[in-house]
Structure 1
Amino acid sequence: MNSSVSALPLSTLDSANEALTLRLPSSLQLKQQLPLSHSLHQQVTAHRQAVRAILDGEDPRLLVIVGPCSIHDPQSAIEYASKLARLAEDVSSEMLLVMRAYVEKPRTTIGWKGLAYDPHLDGTDDMAAGLTLSRELMLEMIRLGLPVATELLQPMAANYFDDLLSWVAIGARTTESQIHREMASGLNMPVGFKNGTDGGAAVAVDAMRSAAHPHRHFGVDSQGHPAIVQTAGNADTHIVLRGGHQGPNYDATSVANISAELSRLKIPSRIMVDCSHANSGKDPLRQPAVFNDVLEQRLRGNHSLIGMMLESHLFEGCQPLSSSLRYGVSITDGCLGFDATERLLTDAARRVAQAER
């Protein structure tokens, strides 16, 4: 993974505010340098359809988005993906595992913004190298047989990865954004909108309704030129419950209330639960308890619950960004270790299989 498309030399200096501008390669250039082969394209298409089938109730399996809170180290990311690919095969009859490959991170104020922004972890923000490395990693995960998921935070970055993704998240901070709703309406894969940081589901419900409709909006074409983008609308959306300032919202009462609201608005009741964030009180070791509670609701017959999300890395916990990092440990939110993740998902698959007999 040593190929690179470099940023072009400094192009403008805005004397009014001293803003420096470096020109990035276009998404078309990067896709041509790191292409998705025909066979892998077919694989991605099949994975997208598998996710849609779960959303539509045609496939009874659980959809589980699982992987690091964020990817910062290529070696540990591929080691994790290799382990996950083997686990995905073991539980494939009961659940569809999708690799969480998050290369952008929203920040409340400041901080490391993700691999696509700062791949060297040193504040140099070599985004050209970050985009290249992010695409290389996603391609390698697909070669391992995994569906790939990410959160699309910066719409201009989406074009660099959109052909590789089987599922996309729109985060709690951006679900209310018109720009992200317009972007989602043109994506050719299922999209999960998270509830707002306050815990309210209304903004996510509104986002689903907006994304289902066609839009014309300002955007960038594959060659990097400003463009009018016309979208067809995306019906393959769902809500992701991640809790809020008032606490969790994965309990049966909260799920029933949100399901009823979706039904009232004639929106398909498709609910995923994020087992991290406010639902776990930001304690990664509480994720299994949340997961098992949601699984029990599903086993009792609540099929509006289509899946869960887990933050998981090779080893549990998190660490601050420094010059001496522990291998396989998150530098953003705390994660469940892989061994505990494997036990959790293997046991869940066993319980699902028993319930189906």
Structure 2
Amino acid sequence: MGFQFIQKLPTPAEIKEQFPLPASYAAAKAKKDEEIRKIITGESDKFLVIIGPCSADHEDAVLDYTTRLAKVQEQVADKLVLVPRVYTNKPRTTGLGYKGMLHQPDPDKKPSVAEGLHAIRHLHMRVLGETGFSTADEMLYPENVSYLNDIMSYIAVGARSVENQQHRLVCSGCDVPVGMKNPTSGDLTVMLNSVVASQTGHEFIMREWEVKTQGNPLTHTILRGAVNKHGQCIPNYHFEDLILLHNLYEERNLLNPACIVDANHSNSNKQYMEQIRIVKEVLHSRRHSSEIKSLVKGVMIESYLEPGAQKVEEHCYGKSITDPCLGWDASQQLLYDIAEGLE
């Protein structure tokens, strides 16, 4: 057989027993959940900004970043709700490279998923306990959601996962907003089909159980750009793209039409400084069109302490080891600019 079984991993219940969530942490998360829910449903006109490193690679640097972010949140609380990206498992286009803290708690050491499960819960809990931020992470492995579902307030499904049935079905049982990215092909129908599936209740297999869900009305779309057959990036954050998505939403009987614009990835062609211009263009489109304003509830930004990216072995503190990110100074200023740019 082609698999080597290394060790049996602890269940979500066992991990939660080892790292129980204090009542004060749960209360802080519940408050953040409600703030974000109201944005997605349109009850609140605040703007959602999901911001942070491409990958949460080192615990101390992530805590440094989120502590700084918490100070900015205090200053923009009347207009913005910030949610830190604490992305601990990373999809890789070729399957090669750093796959995130879940796989490799220390990027300089050998992978260990068993240690990774402890490390990611410890990190998410530290962020919540020390900054008051409940977190955002990516659903790369649907069966792993239960390890962190009492800490996260936002879940993203990536471009390479959005067409997968298990992702869609598991999202239908999540209690927090789930953003479905458009696939790398750019097909908006695939993305919207994923929203339909996730807003609907299902019966399916989950961790050796037959389970039943009621559907997640907070499932929505994320525009992240696309790639054509020549490998060229095609942005989809422009005014016309947003109007098209608004019209496609109107053609479907979906709850809570909402979109987040991912300013990096194929929208920026991974030119991380372009995120500043892209975000400002999206804000301009919202000011120009009431339809876009009602649809676009926020943006997603890749940002870390130091600008750009590095190789794992370079060891520059607070600099991404996956996709390049905005540095802290530019990120802080952009957050202030977003708050000022809202009507």
TM-score over 0.5 (shorter chain)? yes
Q: 1:230 aligns with which of 212, 216, 225?
A: 212
Q: Please tell me whether residue 299 in structure 1 is matched to residue 284 in structure 2.
A: no
Q: Please tell me whether residue 62 in structure 1 is matched to residue 50 in structure 2.
A: no
Name the counterpart of 2:302: 311
Q: Please tell me whether residue 104 in structure 1 is matched to residue 92 in structure 2.
A: no
Give yes or no for contact 2:283–2:341 (8 Å, CA) kept in 1: no
Q: What's the TM-score, normalizing by structure 2?
A: 0.94
Task: Write the deviation string for residues 130-183 of structure 1: whole angstroms up to 9, x where unpaired.
Answer: 111111111111121113101010122211111111010000000100000011
AA at the equivalent of 1:326: C
CA distance in structure 2 between the aligned counterparts of 1:17 and 1:77, rounded to whole angstroms: 37
Query: For the aligned residues, what is the CA RMSD?
Result: 1.2
Q: Please tell me whether residue 333 in structure 1 is matched to residue 329 in structure 2.
A: no
Name the counterpart of 2:31: 46
Q: 1:120 aligns with which of 106, 119, 126?
A: 106
CA distance in structure 2 between the aligned counterparts of 1:275 and 1:297, rounded to whole angstroms: 14
Give yes or no for contact 2:108–2:312 (8 Å, CA) kept in 1: no
Q: 1:141 aligns with which of 120, 127, 130?
A: 127
* Greater fraction helix: 2
Give the 4+ runs in structure 1 shifted more than 6 A: none
CA distance in structure 1 between the aligned counterparts of 2:338 and 2:147, rounded to whole angstroms: 35
Identity of aligned residues (%): 34
AA at the equivalent of 1:39: S
Structure 1 residue 227, shift from structure 2 partner: 1.2
Give the number of the structure whose alpha-carbon radius of gyration is greater. Answer: 1
Q: Please tell me whether residue 274 in structure 1 is matched to residue 241 in structure 2.
A: no
Q: Structure 2, unaligned stretches of length 5 or more?
A: 229-233
Give yes or no for contact 2:58–2:106 (8 Å, CA) kept in 1: no
Q: What's the TM-score, normalizing by structure 1?
A: 0.91
Q: 1:342 aligns with which of 297, 320, 332?
A: 332
CA distance in structure 2 between the aligned counterparts of 1:88 and 1:128, rounded to whole angstroms: 34
Q: Please tell me whether residue 93 in structure 1 is matched to residue 75 in structure 2.
A: no
SS across alignment from 1:168: strand
AA at the equivalent of 1:38: A
Between 1:295-304 and 1:125-134, the stretch displaced more is 295-304
Task: Write the deviation string for residues 1-35 of structure 1: whole angstroms up to 9, x where unpaired.
Answer: xxxxxxxxxxxxxxx22522311111111111111
SS across alignment from 1:303: helix
CA distance in structure 2 between the aligned counterparts of 1:30 and 1:276, rounded to whole angstroms: 33
Q: 2:273 aligns with which of 281, 285, 302?
A: 285
Q: Structure 1, unaligned stretches of length 5 or more?
A: 1-15, 221-225
Change (3 A) 1:306 1:66: same
Structure 1 residue 48, shift from structure 2 partner: 1.2
Task: Write the deviation string for residues 81-121 of structure 1: whole angstroms up to 9, x where unpaired.
Answer: 10001111111111100010000000111221100111122
